[in-house]
């Protein structure tokens, strides 16, 4: 191999190496961008999970209020039943019966209000669960892409290290060959 061909071969190798050196820099920038996406997705997921916990707590509170209201309505019903039972031998006035009926209707209305509020809390909880599930899926997708990109960068780094080692070995072989050529030429010149 002539020295000019060796120089051309080295310049082509050096050019390929410089192109390969630029690729990891671009990939590192991409890694930074993806890490920001992962961080953002993680923050959204954390926010959705916190919101889900709050809505679960609110729903539990609302269910507790419904149970309390139902218990109060039942106590009022029992109380009215006892009053009517005690007065069964006595004449009950229409006003007392209307007042008792109005109290029971009022408690029934409170129970219905609490049921509606519980239904609204259930709908909010369902929406929060859906939002949290979507955020979880988005986070998993972004995080999987990030892991794939990190794996790619690691593989490219190992490939680049192998290429550098191969080029250094090739350069060392070329230098050894170049060093032996003049000695061989001297030996043949003395023989000739």
Where do the domains of the chain lie? 16-191
Assigned token pair, 102: 């109005």
CATH 3.30.465.10 fits 16-191, yes or no: no
Render pLDDT for 67-112 as a digit per residue (tens, 0 to 9).
999 999 999 989 888 887 777 667 777 887 888 889 899 999 999 9
**Averaged pLDDT for residues 136-151:** 91
**What is the structure's pLDDT at 96?**
79
What pTM does this model have?
0.63
């Amino acid at each position: 191999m002539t020295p000019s061909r060796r120089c051309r071969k080295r310049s082509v190798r050096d050019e390929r190496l410089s192109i390969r050196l630029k690729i990891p820099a671009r990939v590192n920038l991409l890694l930074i961008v993806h890490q920001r996406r992962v961080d953002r997705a993680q923050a959204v997921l954390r926010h959705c999970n916190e919101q889900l916990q709050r809505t679960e707590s609110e729903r539990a509170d609302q269910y507790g209020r419904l149970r309390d209201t139902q218990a109060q309505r039942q106590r009022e019903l029992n109380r009215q039943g006892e009053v009517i039972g005690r007065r069964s031998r006595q004449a009950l006035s229409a006003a007392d019966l209307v007042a008792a009926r109005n109290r029971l209707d009022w408690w029934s209305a409170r129970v219905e209000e609490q049921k509606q509020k519980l239904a609204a809390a259930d709908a909010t909880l369902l929406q929060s669960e859906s939002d949290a599930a979507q955020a979880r899926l988005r986070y998993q997708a972004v995080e999987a892409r990030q892991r794939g990109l990190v794996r790619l960068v690691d593989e490219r780094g190992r490939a680049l290290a192998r290429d550098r080692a191969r080029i250094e070995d090739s350069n060392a072989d070329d230098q050894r060959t170049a060093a032996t050529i003049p000695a061989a030429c001297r030996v043949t010149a003395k023989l000739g």
